[in-house]
Structure 1
């Protein structure tokens, strides 16, 4: 359909029909889904509204979706097809590691492949749009939704955001096996005060623009079709009613012409925020901010017509929003084929196929981060008696909270994977403990934690069985972690340690066997101080998804050498939070390793540094960095500078290493971070092999928001750091001299 046909269609619609196009409902209204992802209160809507609503979420499966679309079109006067949307966060049916784990691959190309798989499976099942990628920059692991982000760095998040958009959308949305992407949550949702979900966000415009906005912009520059508003405030105004953020910045400054959708009930929540006195005012604020779709509230439906009739808003505002919705439907090809790529046979062929599982397994192995290893890893396939103990030793709950469409039965457990890899007489398994402490009550989404009565005698037996097994084993692999529902939306935690019942298991096992490998399953960085002090090895596995067991076993037994790097710092103590690598110096900085004195920026009881920094991750081999050189020491706007370094594998195993480039602006008109990631290159080296890695530096990479709030570079000296993580001290100095 061309634009003139869309214009004609819009002209034939009544005001009520237009407003209905701006409503999104759950599948419950169409007998399609029993999944609820928000504050569940079933709202009553008129039948005409349901028959004209523009989009629905969480109707799944090609057959069911086609049935819903057919019934809808029979009742819709203009035959405008429905949009079908869902939360496809880290896979549809083939579940990949949670995004924080994907970030730890430091491999955007691989993550793009995972998005392609998610799109193929979802599109064949009839879906049109995914609420992904989430690129919110995160620095506070108390916030449960850090699991949905790729980490604490704006540059890295931008790489992953763009990669996911390209993976979902392909070269064109008319291409089979594609989904429209929706970047979220705009903006700065990842910085709630106290790490408490939905809480206030307050920051300067400079911080917002330099650190929090770039990843959204990268996703939009990659062609992202939709944007979702955030729940939080920006400069004291909730994002969903923030005209400066959504109109002036997103639409006018950035030129975004796509669809803007509220998060779940966010328009109605303008009243709870206290910026709207009633639903009428909430509707006016949101539509004037350019929010096109009201997700699952009656605010637009109940109030927009009255606002137009009374002259409080122009019908043109509504026309603009409706046109953007119609244009997206047209881009997806729905007017020509309202069923798009929904295909039951293709669905069966693609979902959880061997090719998709194989990619998932590969990504799991690259997402694992080896945090510590004092000779306990890798495990031996022969001549080693190994005990696998813990609530995750044989557990299918490995996919994380937002994998709501995955099939738990399809998940490969650690036990299942290990039993296929080594002789059964060599490995033994014991549960040891439950995941959660007795009387823990957590609920939400469709993942209610069953409240089963705690049986002290059974718990005692489980613990004793594990202790006896540990006594007679050469090495103990303790599979510990959070319950999946402890992280994710609404999963904020003030204490981010392992549950006490698991820590007790760890302590009891350590009393009888000190050769312990801890494998962690979690959706956030944890406080691991005690684990780090006593365990011989620690592997961060995140929530790894469908092929979790296989990918972990591949690494434990050295079929794959670990290469993951942390995309979010792990705190030494929760008292440090927020702790992140690209902080500012103070007037009284404390250098790493110095004891310092009272009148410096320091804690008196713990280090300033995190337990594990951004970019950190070990390997079974060793990499040596040497010979950092710059081809010139003076950079201009018209030139580029090349930094080179030699990386050598000095160990016994082939391995992959992520070489990381950081830059520090030594003096600016405003304070600059101590380091900023500006480039990554992942290389693979055989034992004894060396490679020279080069990075090109241009003037554009040195720009920031100066004292005058202009985005530009400034003359002066810079340090280039290259190394294996953000704490590298290998550097050279160059000077920028712009042509005036």
Structure 2
């Protein structure tokens, strides 16, 4: 009982009104920063904690508190009433405002410009979830670096990315912004993207300050419903949802965005256990916390604050340093400080953190750097376009390829490209493609036509709308299919069906498209599904039974070219799923690393009664996490362990032989999973511990080796601290989270 009471007091304690400890590490004894703080008025201090979108704009349906016109914006900059702006496009206005800040404001503190640079700026790369399907964190680092170069050329020095939320409920639309369901894979991509955005030196002109978000457990919202409550244990929070944030901070991120959701009754933006207890006290985070858009004001709607004054007080004392868009800090913090309800020390700490980060970015020394870039610096970069194509084709996952229908020859066959995404460039980029002047995307029809010896061999028919039939559409599609040798069926989600505020109760193919698929399949022609999606999907009928399925996600500006590369065999698909595809929508939340139950269902007897089972479908994934195939089959065998007992301080070498039994080079993602058979806290059925992406020549074999240490087997123990317990473990070297070859070993104290 004492432990439970301690847990409740720690994680879900109300906001304290006592002054928090001074964050001395944020700026140390930097003389310039301390001199500024000593000279600043309270209003100027609060100004450094107030962030706004550009003046004279509005976002329909989204609160736009404290909307200002252009002159008010200039007046606020001159008076030191804001720290910066976000998503304000164009260099000219940024340059004007920065000149006002450094030359006309009393203290000359520069502005910081931020933006939602989620998967590219001018060159749009695949959505982050798609990119995670590459299982190549180094690739994500390169695309984040390219995005930073382009965004900084437009004056931005701060991005509200990467999103590092674990997403295990495919109904939640924002899973498209992350790396999927697995902690280990998410850790690798979180760190890589931070390194890419920030580069080797944050003060370089082409660096972007990274902001891992949303702190914390935003991806665990009830019902997969955006902005909804999260109710999870502290163990799950620490075991699953916090590690990617720690990985991002360890990689050098110096800002963090709080989440919209609450955890067990305490909204994240006002949760001192998260924002101060975990970030500051445990992790010694030196940067600053920024709220999500008007999240502090939304404490009123949550029923947690009675009014804006209380909302500002709760958010600020909990550890949210910068308020985005609401204007509540500027409105209420001065009087809260004057009344003594907010200690001056807390205000100074927050300002110190913000100024320290601005200094790390080099803004004090060169505030106008990057704001006078020549126009050619913002033109299409051929290297970035080539990178987008590489990224896109490495993100494609081939789920099945029966009768080796793929790859298609480039001549001698008639192809019918059918579906609402068959032509045009709408719905290729995905959510968060915000800024004008972006590179022109390549449509699927365009990419296929360019690759064919005779473009006339390609017939393009929409067949249906995205969620509604077209008059005569199915008839035209069936006619085209009958006249073709093979059908490419471009179906799935539009870009408006995945993303923020785009939760779905049914994660299947919209009915109009399902009807189209059934009619086309009835012709008997081979069907290849090109699946447009921003989440795991529940496939059925003709879509599920297609001869081949390619998960093509939202691939960005080189969509058509990348799909053509894979369809015609110029690139051997090497992507693997970062999320599990369920059998049906009713299975979600669904993920491979589920806990055991006291009545597990034997693998070979789905019909057994009184076991953990559904009565109308199997428990297994339709396509498990990590699954994907290429044009060359591979075989796993010869698994060996360097020893059958691993001391706590030792290293276990795990080896397996992977053989390419095909006629083409294979690129295989070899995955290492582990599970402890019995522990003081119940453990998942298996967990990813490492992976290697290897190339294997036709007919050749490659020995893949992993090093496993005791620390790799850590979990959160009964005392809520990381622990490793001796015991019996199973290991799998596998092509996915289902199956593989297995060995066991014992972890011992000596």
Global fold match (TM > 0.5): yes
Which of 344, 348, 356 does residue 376 from structure 2 map onto?
348
| 1:472 lines up with 2:483 in the alignment | yes
Which of 459, 464, 467 does residue 436 from structure 1 map onto?
467
**Residue pairs, 1:463-502, within 5 angstroms:** 463-502=474-513
| 1:213 lines up with 2:242 in the alignment | yes
**Residue pairs, 1:155-554, within 5 angstroms:** 155-345=184-374, 348-349=376-377, 351-374=379-402, 375-397=404-426, 398-405=428-435, 407=437, 410-422=440-452, 423-437=454-468, 459-554=470-565
* SS of alignment partner, residue 669 of structure 2: strand
Matched-pair contact (CA < 8 Å) for 2:123–2:439: no
Q: 1:468 to 1:547 in 2, by over 3 A?
A: same
| 1:636 lines up with 2:664 in the alignment | no
For residues 539-584 of structure 1, give each alpha carbon's deviation from its aligned partner in whole angstroms, at most 9, with x where no partner exists. Answer: 1000000111111110000100001100011111111111100011
Matched-pair contact (CA < 8 Å) for 2:431–2:499: yes
Runs of 5+ in structure 1 lacking a partner? 439-458
For residues 209-257 of structure 1, give each alpha carbon's deviation from its aligned partner in whole angstroms, at most 9, with x where no partner exists. Answer: 0111111100000011110000111232000000111101111101101
Give the drift of 1:125: 1.2
Give the drift of 1:3: 1.2
* SS of alignment partner, residue 166 of structure 1: helix
Instruction: Tell me how far apart the structure 1 counterparts of residues 96 and 463 of structure 2 sit (CA, whole Å).
Output: 48
* SS of alignment partner, residue 388 of structure 1: strand
Give the drift of 1:42: 5.5
Give the drift of 1:335: 1.0
Q: Which residue of 1 aligns with 2:700?
A: 689
Runs of 5+ in structure 2 lacking a partner? 1-26
Give the drift of 1:289: 1.1
**Residue pairs, 1:84-95, within 5 angstroms:** 84-95=113-124
Q: 1:113 to 1:598 in 2, by over 3 A?
A: same
Matched-pair contact (CA < 8 Å) for 1:333–1:340: no
Q: 1:341 to 1:43 in 2, by over 3 A?
A: closer
Which of 551, 570, 575 does residue 559 from structure 1 map onto?
570
Matched-pair contact (CA < 8 Å) for 1:670–1:706: yes
| 1:125 lines up with 2:154 in the alignment | yes
Number of residues of Structure 1 aligned to a counterpart in Structure 2 = 715
Give the drift of 1:38: 4.0
Q: Which residue of 2 aligns with 1:10?
A: 37
* SS of alignment partner, residue 371 of structure 1: strand
For residues 280-326 of structure 1, give each alpha carbon's deviation from its aligned partner in whole angstroms, at most 9, with x where no partner exists. Answer: 11111111111111000021111111111111111111111111111
* SS of alignment partner, residue 550 of structure 1: helix
Matched-pair contact (CA < 8 Å) for 1:22–1:322: yes
Which of 50, 54, 63 does residue 39 from structure 1 map onto?
63
Q: 1:150 to 1:531 in 2, by over 3 A?
A: farther
Give the drift of 1:35: 6.6
* SS of alignment partner, residue 299 of structure 2: helix
Matched-pair contact (CA < 8 Å) for 1:38–1:264: no
Give the drift of 1:514: 3.4
Q: Which residue of 1 aligns with 2:627?
A: 616
* SS of alignment partner, residue 617 of structure 2: coil
Which of 653, 670, 673 does residue 664 from structure 2 map onto?
653
Q: 1:415 to 1:219 in 2, by over 3 A?
A: same
* SS of alignment partner, residue 425 of structure 2: coil
* SS of alignment partner, residue 601 of structure 2: coil
Instruction: Tell me how far apart the structure 1 counterparts of residues 219 and 532 of structure 2 sit (CA, whole Å).
Output: 22
For residues 422-458 of structure 1, give each alpha carbon's deviation from its aligned partner in whole angstroms, at most 9, with x where no partner exists. Answer: 12132221122222327xxxxxxxxxxxxxxxxxxxx
Q: 1:407 to 1:514 in 2, by over 3 A?
A: farther
Q: Which residue of 2 aligns with 1:575?
A: 586
Matched-pair contact (CA < 8 Å) for 2:101–2:109: no
Instruction: Tell me how far apart the structure 2 counterparts of residues 296 and 419 of structure 1 sit (CA, whole Å).
Output: 46
Give the drift of 1:596: 3.9
Q: Which residue of 1 aligns with 2:50?
A: 23
Q: 1:128 to 1:465 in 2, by over 3 A?
A: same
Instruction: Tell me how far apart the structure 2 counterparts of residues 596 and 636 of structure 1 sit (CA, whole Å).
Output: 42
For residues 155-184 of structure 1, give each alpha carbon's deviation from its aligned partner in whole angstroms, at most 9, with x where no partner exists. Answer: 110100000000111111112421110000
Instruction: Tell me how far apart the structure 1 counterparts of residues 585 and 687 of structure 2 sit (CA, whole Å).
Output: 24
Q: Which residue of 2 aligns with 1:456?
A: none
Matched-pair contact (CA < 8 Å) for 2:518–2:542: no
